[in-house]
Structure 1
Amino acid sequence: MEYLQSNGLNMPRLGLGTFRMQGEVCRAAVESALELGYRHIDTAAMYGNEDAVGAALAASALPRAALHVTTKVWHDQLAPDAIHRSFDASLGQLGLDYVDLFMVHWPAADMNLPAIFETLERLRESGRTRAIGVCNFTVGMVRAVVEEIGIALACNQVEYHVLLEQTVMRRYLASHSMALVAHCPLAQGRLAEHAALVSVAARHGATPAQVALRWLLDQDGVAAIPKAQRRESQQANLDALKLRLDDEDRRALCALPKDQRFVTPPFAPAWDGAGD
């Protein structure tokens, strides 16, 4: 496994996303991933699966220090007291004394940034979360937290894949020692539609999904959390770590359209512009 350092956090660069996996299906998927070598598990209060993730963690013989566990607070729970309640509930569901990363899942239109991040910082100082971060924040929002409020964030988790530009975001995060964690890194299964990806994959005896993951992980400061329920898919994503792309491959991938955003809930922020 490859790791990256982000404001003191040692994060496996390839993790398991668990969105839309619940109950026994989720528990079995996380157990399988841990057996295969995954050490980064991403969940959230909104997913309704923290209990299943926790059961899989408890069944593992791995020491807690070997694992990276992320969870998140939903955007309607961003008042300080609500953040504490959500955090306590998440720890209870997971059966853990601490998480490695606690994040704001989505920004809210009326959020009080100083109150939110002072609360998160106190949780970090207590040791119950090793680091704090955000998801789906624009560059301007991240800048406000880091430069105006003065809070050190570990990362911003945003949609990022070979069909969506995030250069401005990635450069800003890197300039402040923050990671970009790519959710939806396989573009929701759409990658096989693009001849360039198929061609690159064929040259390497790989799949378009493996090529897309390797493209992401070749970038400094980027981690990815593809969802993979089946053991075969989990192994295929791990095998992407063995792939080596060359300059010809990268040119072909750079030529793909980079303006396709697939995660657009009605509460999403207005993105700052191309490549934010």
Structure 2
Amino acid sequence: MLFAVDIGNTNIVAALFDGKNLRNQWRIASDSRRTGDEYSSVISTLIRDENIQAKDIDKAIISSVVPDLLGPFVTVSQRLTKKKPFVLSSALAFSGQLPVRLPEGSTHELGTDLLCNAVGAWELFHGANIVVDFGTALTLTVTDSKGIIRGITISPGLRTAIHALATNTAQLPIVPLEAPSSSLGSTTKEAIQAGVVLGYKGLVEYLISRVKDDLYAASGDRQDSVSVVATGGLNSVLKPITDSFVVVDKELTLKGLRTISEICGS
């Protein structure tokens, strides 16, 4: 089995794949103060609780956007598999090994989580696509019909926006991430929900439209040929109030990791 780890700023998602089958996944809080020993104890307990034998886990792959947590999870992986894990690097986007790539000579910076998203989306559509990832940051990753990653947009995530309001004001509270029935907020809670949740609906829909226009100018891919997939833990907030997404796949990043592992022989 493959032990796949997606280390994000808020959460770490660890998973086990048996072939292409996603067998188990766990979400753990990201905490750079924790050591490899501590995370090993947590992961070992989670695996044992599922009656899985560590000897059946023979390889590992890690994507991390938190440098301080990479070392601890290399330790976790080595203890599980008795070998070094494959650590994903953005340089892989230039290698020609993957079905997607950055343009030749590009100076683009690409997080490994976004590379996984692009690979996962290509496996879904085999054509031009946009991945909208609702995480700590809200990102759009844009790939053309030739598999070239044309660009990224980055905005504060929904929860990040809610917490920024509460942290930087004296009287605004943290409110549930739910769409209000009206944009005319009559309470502080409704007003924040209208501004953030409905505002982000507009942000996402505008960015998708603008990105499709810019992708057409850059690659000739028609707007109606571009598929849009949503992923990330907070996609459920906007899913009920927008029809922008062809597919919603919360496991897209993990599936991209699995595909990369398969291609690179990790």
TM-score, with length taken from structure 2: 0.32
Higher strand share: 2
> Comparing both chains, which one has the higher relative contact order based on Cα–Cα distances under 8 Å and sequence gaps of 6 or more?
1
After TM superposition, the score normalised by the length of structure 1 is 0.31
Instruction: Please tell me whether Structure 1 or Structure 2 has the larger radius of gyration of its CA atoms.
Output: 2
